[in-house]
Protein backbone atom coordinates (compact mmCIF):
# COMPACT_ATOMS: atom_id res chain seq x y z
CA UNK A 1 0.00 0.00 0.00
CA UNK A 2 1.30 3.44 -0.82
CA UNK A 3 0.44 6.50 1.18
CA UNK A 4 -2.13 7.57 -1.41
CA UNK A 5 -4.07 4.37 -0.69
CA UNK A 6 -4.87 5.68 2.76
CA UNK A 7 -7.44 7.89 1.05
CA UNK A 8 -9.35 4.74 0.08
CA UNK A 9 -9.48 3.45 3.63
CA UNK A 10 -12.82 2.94 5.36
CA UNK A 11 -11.32 4.48 8.47
CA UNK A 12 -11.82 8.23 8.69
CA UNK A 13 -8.66 8.46 10.82
CA UNK A 14 -6.60 7.02 7.97
CA UNK A 15 -8.27 9.33 5.46
CA UNK A 16 -7.65 12.41 7.59
CA UNK A 17 -4.05 11.27 8.17
CA UNK A 18 -3.59 11.05 4.43
CA UNK A 19 -4.57 14.72 4.22
CA UNK A 20 -2.73 16.16 7.22
CA UNK A 21 0.04 13.68 8.03
CA UNK A 22 2.61 16.11 6.71
CA UNK A 23 4.77 18.55 8.64
CA UNK A 24 4.14 21.47 6.28
CA UNK A 25 0.39 21.10 6.23
CA UNK A 26 0.43 21.14 10.03
CA UNK A 27 2.84 24.09 10.21
CA UNK A 28 0.61 26.11 7.88
CA UNK A 29 -2.35 25.28 10.10
CA UNK A 30 -0.40 26.41 13.19
CA UNK A 31 0.26 29.72 11.45
CA UNK A 32 -3.30 30.30 10.31
CA UNK A 33 -4.51 29.61 13.88
CA UNK A 34 -1.99 32.23 15.05
CA UNK A 35 -3.68 34.67 12.68
CA UNK A 36 -1.18 34.63 9.83
CA UNK A 37 -2.92 34.85 6.47
CA UNK A 38 -0.46 36.15 3.84
CA UNK A 39 1.85 34.18 1.64
CA UNK A 40 5.08 35.95 2.60
CA UNK A 41 4.35 35.73 6.32
CA UNK A 42 3.33 32.09 6.05
CA UNK A 43 6.48 31.39 4.11
CA UNK A 44 8.77 33.06 6.62
CA UNK A 45 7.20 31.64 9.76
CA UNK A 46 6.83 28.07 8.53
CA UNK A 47 10.21 28.04 6.80
CA UNK A 48 8.65 26.30 3.77
CA UNK A 49 10.06 27.16 0.34
CA UNK A 50 7.72 29.27 -1.84
CA UNK A 51 7.13 26.33 -4.19
CA UNK A 52 6.33 23.94 -1.36
CA UNK A 53 4.08 26.50 0.32
CA UNK A 54 2.16 27.16 -2.93
CA UNK A 55 1.48 23.47 -3.35
CA UNK A 56 0.32 23.02 0.23
CA UNK A 57 -1.92 26.11 0.08
CA UNK A 58 -3.47 24.74 -3.11
CA UNK A 59 -4.06 21.40 -1.41
CA UNK A 60 -5.59 23.03 1.67
CA UNK A 61 -7.95 24.99 -0.59
CA UNK A 62 -8.83 21.86 -2.57
CA UNK A 63 -9.68 20.02 0.65
CA UNK A 64 -11.77 23.00 1.74
CA UNK A 65 -9.77 23.93 4.82
CA UNK A 66 -8.60 27.31 3.53
CA UNK A 67 -10.19 29.82 1.17
CA UNK A 68 -8.46 32.77 -0.37
CA UNK A 69 -9.66 36.32 -0.64
CA UNK A 70 -7.98 38.99 -2.73
CA UNK A 71 -6.68 41.98 -0.81
CA UNK A 72 -4.94 43.53 -3.81
CA UNK A 73 -5.77 43.31 -7.51
CA UNK A 74 -2.60 44.74 -9.06
CA UNK A 75 -0.57 42.79 -8.23
CA UNK A 76 -2.94 39.95 -7.33
CA UNK A 77 -2.43 39.18 -3.65
CA UNK A 78 -4.49 36.99 -1.37
CA UNK A 79 -5.35 36.38 2.23
CA UNK A 80 -5.59 32.69 3.12
CA UNK A 81 -8.36 32.18 5.62
CA UNK A 82 -9.58 29.18 7.58
CA UNK A 83 -13.03 27.93 6.62
CA UNK A 84 -15.41 26.29 9.11
CA UNK A 85 -13.88 22.96 8.06
CA UNK A 86 -10.45 24.39 8.79
CA UNK A 87 -11.37 25.87 12.15
CA UNK A 88 -12.51 22.41 13.19
CA UNK A 89 -8.87 21.32 13.02
CA UNK A 90 -8.12 23.50 16.04
CA UNK A 91 -8.30 20.54 18.48
CA UNK A 92 -5.69 18.71 16.38
CA UNK A 93 -3.18 21.57 16.68
CA UNK A 94 -4.05 22.13 20.34
CA UNK A 95 -3.52 18.43 21.14
CA UNK A 96 -0.14 18.53 19.43
CA UNK A 97 0.69 21.68 21.40
CA UNK A 98 -0.33 20.15 24.74
CA UNK A 99 1.77 17.08 24.09
CA UNK A 100 4.71 19.22 23.03
CA UNK A 101 4.43 21.46 26.09
CA UNK A 102 4.34 18.45 28.39
CA UNK A 103 7.03 16.31 26.79
CA UNK A 104 9.31 18.67 24.87
CA UNK A 105 8.91 22.00 26.63
CA UNK A 106 11.20 23.64 29.11
CA UNK A 107 10.35 26.90 30.81
CA UNK A 108 7.30 28.95 29.83
CA UNK A 109 4.98 27.64 27.13
CA UNK A 110 5.77 29.08 23.72
CA UNK A 111 2.04 29.63 23.16
CA UNK A 112 -0.56 30.23 25.84
CA UNK A 113 -4.26 29.86 25.24
CA UNK A 114 -6.81 32.09 26.87
CA UNK A 115 -10.43 30.99 26.81
CA UNK A 116 -12.09 34.21 25.68
CA UNK A 117 -15.51 33.51 27.10
CA UNK A 118 -14.30 32.85 30.67
CA UNK A 119 -11.02 34.77 30.57
CA UNK A 120 -8.79 32.03 31.98
CA UNK A 121 -5.48 30.96 30.51
CA UNK A 122 -5.91 27.21 30.21
CA UNK A 123 -4.65 23.94 28.83
CA UNK A 124 -7.72 22.69 26.95
CA UNK A 125 -8.57 19.09 27.84
CA UNK A 126 -10.19 16.22 26.04
CA UNK A 127 -13.40 15.59 27.95
CA UNK A 128 -16.30 13.15 27.89
CA UNK A 129 -19.44 15.10 26.92
CA UNK A 130 -21.62 12.61 28.83
CA UNK A 131 -20.02 12.75 32.28
CA UNK A 132 -17.84 15.87 31.79
CA UNK A 133 -14.71 14.18 33.15
CA UNK A 134 -11.41 14.48 31.31
CA UNK A 135 -10.66 11.46 29.11
CA UNK A 136 -7.42 9.67 28.46
CA UNK A 137 -6.37 6.64 26.46
CA UNK A 138 -6.81 4.10 29.27
CA UNK A 139 -10.38 5.31 29.78
CA UNK A 140 -11.45 4.75 26.20
CA UNK A 141 -12.65 1.57 24.56
CA UNK A 142 -12.64 1.62 20.77
CA UNK A 143 -15.10 -0.48 18.79
CA UNK A 144 -15.05 -0.77 15.04
CA UNK A 145 -17.85 -0.51 12.53
CA UNK A 146 -18.77 -3.72 10.75
CA UNK A 147 -17.35 -2.40 7.49
CA UNK A 148 -14.03 -1.42 9.05
CA UNK A 149 -13.84 -4.76 10.91
CA UNK A 150 -14.39 -6.63 7.64
CA UNK A 151 -11.75 -4.56 5.89
CA UNK A 152 -9.26 -5.36 8.65
CA UNK A 153 -10.13 -9.07 8.58
CA UNK A 154 -9.53 -9.18 4.84
CA UNK A 155 -6.09 -7.57 5.33
CA UNK A 156 -5.27 -10.07 8.10
CA UNK A 157 -6.10 -13.13 6.01
CA UNK A 158 -6.08 -12.27 2.31
CA UNK A 159 -8.33 -14.57 0.26
* Cα–Cα distance measured from residue 90 to residue 5, given in angstroms and rounded to the nearest whole number: 26
Cβ 40 to a copy of itself, closest distance in Å? Answer: 9
CB 80 within 8 A of CB 71: no
What 3-state DSSP class applies to 42?
helix
- Binders of a copy of itself among residues 49 to 68 (CB under 8 A) are 64
C-beta closer to a copy of itself: residue 74 or 84: 84
Residue 39 interacts with a copy of itself (CB under 8 A)?
no
C-beta closer to a copy of itself: residue 8 or 71: 8
Residue 101 interacts with a copy of itself (CB under 8 A)?
yes
# chain residues binding a copy of itself, by CB under 8 A: 97
The β-bridge partners of 68 are: 80
Q: Which residues contact 89 (CB under 8 A, 6 or more apart)?
A: 20, 29, 65
C-beta closer to a copy of itself: residue 33 or 80: 33
Residue (of 91, 69, 87, 89) closest to 78 by Cα position: 69
* Cα–Cα distance measured from residue 155 to residue 14, given in angstroms and rounded to the nearest whole number: 15
C-beta closer to a copy of itself: residue 73 or 103: 103
- Binders of a copy of itself among residues 110 to 149 (CB under 8 A) are 110-118, 120, 122-148
Cβ 64 to a copy of itself, closest distance in Å? Answer: 8
Amino acid sequence: MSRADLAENTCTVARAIELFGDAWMLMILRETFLGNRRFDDLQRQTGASPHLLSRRLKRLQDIGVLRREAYSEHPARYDYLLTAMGRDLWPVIISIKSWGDKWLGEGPHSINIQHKSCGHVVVPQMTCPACHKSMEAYDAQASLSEEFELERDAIRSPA
